[in-house]
Chain A
């Protein structure tokens, strides 16, 4: 009983700040501490979100944004992972020499270069994917290279003593050894991809969470704007938590696991658990349904739905 209480106490303490913040959000506009025109109470924001969801628009925006972020990150992985392994595996001195160039390129802010991207790729999906990929590719590449460099040299020496081929060395030694670092890079890359995606959608798009926020702001639909912002935050947290989980599980063999205060020495068997199939299923699902929505939105426009009239009604603050 006491243990349960203690557990709850931990949850209460940890969430108290969040609860207080949300309560303040609800109270401040109602009690006149803030202008409800600019800061509608939480309840009307949630109501706006619910209306959006009922109309099916929120789903469209979320899945479209997810599709872009995921595809961009996957593209970045497809480019950065082999590049990292080729550079480190075959030309380690070359990769050291290219380091400054990569560092320079990684500081290149794609948002500032967005007009250039528009010139080259137009304002379509290609432009957004290019921006996201360019942002996400560097963290993945750096972490891949760092991960390979920090694989225990004794392990590599042991593998060499067995006269292994380069491919086996990469697949059986370097990749698993570098995997935790690579996943960290993936998390950083995804985070940056989501940030950049929102910005890119604001610049020019016909759907997506970034567009939702921007469009709502332009139309002065403040609760809807907040609903969009809230969705972005929730989406970001979800993605981050999922990758953090993968990261933690991939780290199980590291000597001391003090990951976010949790001491988890139990091994997670990737191959035998449902983990990987579920993850792949989610990725394929997002790619499939997201692709459908993106196609529809781009060919017919967002409002080509029966309930478009409702959507254009400004939502009143109560």
Chain B
């Protein structure tokens, strides 16, 4: 796989490898129509990926390309049919507290207050109650939810709920933050705010982040590198290094941003499964690559 460098790329910082995925395959047995025999369906084929320490890596791809499945594998919630994933040179065999996960649907405990939600991982970690409160307070303030500590999730807006989910995933201090389309369910304005907040939190906490999305803009805006996945079978087609300067506030209108965006868009275009669904040029790319994504 070639590293596709963009002309304005200056230098790639050398950092140690945090997550290494090797030869990942995921095969499902499915029943063919008109026959009882089971055939193999390759959901993920020959996926190799390395995430560096402290890196913000985005995975972009159409629905059904296996990007969420791959994230579940890193989280230890799913096992690949073959291949291995290492974190700090230790093989991932199951979920653990060194990885935090943020899902699209918030997945907050509705019967717990904001504070109690954030403290959930701390309870699992058996941290004493007094320390729990200090830690949760710190992370609640980090995501900008001060004075909402005793509210219940149903009293919060979608954006606020996602902030709680991020605070909860960060509170037990995992080294890696795994995010599965976390901002897909909030409105466009809130999404941009949350993206900027996420970058700020990332810079403050120095976590390694793997961010799955179907939005090219989002990936380019956030990530150090963008892994472009294609479907049937799901594999990483290319990895684009985004060397836009940080902080990236207001960078969306710059030419470089547009260039990187277009590059990824082209890569997704060549996907044979997307080619037969040609739409007018002006169409929003996020809509184009993922028609099924309900925003």
Partner of A162, one of B97, B108, B111: B97
A163→B94 contact, CB < 8 A:
yes
Interface flag for A246 (CB, 8 Å): no
Partner of B153, one of A172, A176, A253: A253
B109→A176 contact, CB < 8 A:
yes
Minimum CB distance partner of A250 in chain B: B111
Stretch among A48-56, A105-113, A150-158, A299-307 lining the B interface: A150-158
Contacts of A276 in B (CB 8 A): none
Contacts of B76 in A (CB 8 A): 161, 163
Interface flag for A103 (CB, 8 Å): no
Minimum CB distance partner of A156 in chain B: B107
Residues 136-184 (chain B) with a chain A CB within 8 angstroms = 152-155, 172
Question: In the bound complex, what is the Cα–Cα distance between A52 and B266 (angstroms)?
Answer: 88
| Interface residue count on the A side (C-beta < 8 Å) | 22
- Binary flags per residue of B86-110, CB closer than 8 Å to A gives 1, else 0: 0000000011110111010111111
Interface flag for B60 (CB, 8 Å): no
Minimum CB distance partner of A159 in chain B: B120
How many A-B contacts if CB must be within 8 Å?
Answer: 60
Interface flag for A24 (CB, 8 Å): no
Contacts of A253 in B (CB 8 A): 110-111, 152-154
Question: In the bound complex, what is the Cα–Cα distance between A173 and B117 (angstroms)?
Answer: 11
Query: Mostly helix, strand, loop or mixed at chain A's interface?
Result: helix
- Binary flags per residue of A157-192, CB closer than 8 Å to B gives 1, else 0: 110111110001000110011010000000000000
Contacts of A254 in B (CB 8 A): 110, 154
Question: In the bound complex, what is the Cα–Cα distance between A139 and B19 (angstroms)?
Answer: 49
B154→A154 contact, CB < 8 A:
no
Interface flag for B251 (CB, 8 Å): no
Contacts of B153 in A (CB 8 A): 253
| Interface residue count on the B side (C-beta < 8 Å) | 27
Contacts of B96 in A (CB 8 A): 163
Question: In the bound complex, what is the Cα–Cα distance between A27 and B253 (angstroms)?
Answer: 84
B107→A155 contact, CB < 8 A:
yes
Question: In the bound complex, what is the Cα–Cα distance between A176 and B120 (angstroms)?
Answer: 14
Chain B nearest CB, measured from A232 CB (Å): 35
Interface flag for B216 (CB, 8 Å): no
Question: In the bound complex, what is the Cα–Cα distance between A160 and B107 (angstroms)?
Answer: 12
Interface flag for B75 (CB, 8 Å): yes
A163→B154 contact, CB < 8 A:
no
Contacts of B109 in A (CB 8 A): 155, 173, 176-177
B101→A158 contact, CB < 8 A:
yes
Question: In the bound complex, what is the Cα–Cα distance between A155 and B100 (angstroms)?
Answer: 14
Interface flag for B124 (CB, 8 Å): yes
Known contacts A157-B103, A254-B154; is-contact A163 B110 (Cβ 8 Å): no
A162→B155 contact, CB < 8 A:
no
Minimum CB distance partner of A152 in chain B: B107
Partner of A157, one of B77, B154, B172: B77
A161→B152 contact, CB < 8 A:
no
Interface flag for A278 (CB, 8 Å): no
Interface flag for B121 (CB, 8 Å): yes
Which of A157, A173, A252 has the most C-beta atoms of chain B within 10 angstroms of its own C-beta?
A: A157
Chain A nearest CB, measured from B97 CB (Å): 6
A161→B110 contact, CB < 8 A:
no
Interface flag for A255 (CB, 8 Å): yes
Chain A nearest CB, measured from B250 CB (Å): 34
B97→A163 contact, CB < 8 A:
yes
Question: In the bound complex, what is the Cα–Cα distance between A162 and B109 (angstroms)?
Answer: 14
Chain A nearest CB, measured from B40 CB (Å): 24
B172→A162 contact, CB < 8 A:
yes
Contacts of B152 in A (CB 8 A): 252-253, 267
A168→B124 contact, CB < 8 A:
yes
Question: In the bound complex, what is the Cα–Cα distance between A254 and B155 (angstroms)?
Answer: 11
Minimum CB distance partner of B75 in chain A: A161
B121→A176 contact, CB < 8 A:
no
Question: In the bound complex, what is the Cα–Cα distance between A176 and B108 (angstroms)?
Answer: 13
Contacts of A163 in B (CB 8 A): 76, 94-97, 124
Question: In the bound complex, what is the Cα–Cα distance between A129 and B287 (angstroms)?
Answer: 62
Contacts of A96 in B (CB 8 A): none
A161→B101 contact, CB < 8 A:
yes
Known contacts A164-B124, A253-B153; is-contact A154 B107 (Cβ 8 Å): yes
Chain B nearest CB, measured from A76 CB (Å): 24
Question: In the bound complex, what is the Cα–Cα distance between A154 and B165 (angstroms)?
Answer: 12
Chain A nearest CB, measured from B143 CB (Å): 17
Interface flag for A296 (CB, 8 Å): no
Question: In the bound complex, what is the Cα–Cα distance between A236 and B106 (angstroms)?
Answer: 41
Known contacts A161-B77, A164-B124; is-contact A265 B107 (Cβ 8 Å): no
Contacts of A177 in B (CB 8 A): 109, 111
Residues 241-261 (chain A) with a chain B CB within 8 angstroms = 252-255
Listed A/B pairs (28) with beta-carbon separation below 8 Å: A152-B107, A154-B103, A154-B106, A154-B107, A155-B107, A157-B77, A157-B103, A158-B101, A160-B77, A160-B95, A161-B75, A161-B76, A162-B95, A162-B97, A162-B124, A163-B97, A164-B124, A168-B124, A172-B120, A173-B109, A176-B109, A179-B111, A253-B152, A253-B153, A254-B110, A254-B154, A255-B110, A255-B154
* Partner-A contacts on B (CB < 8 A): 75-77, 94-97, 99-101, 103, 105-111, 120-121, 123-124, 152-155, 172
Which 6 residue pairs across A and B have the least CB separation, nearest first?
A154-B107, A253-B110, A161-B101, A163-B95, A158-B107, A176-B111
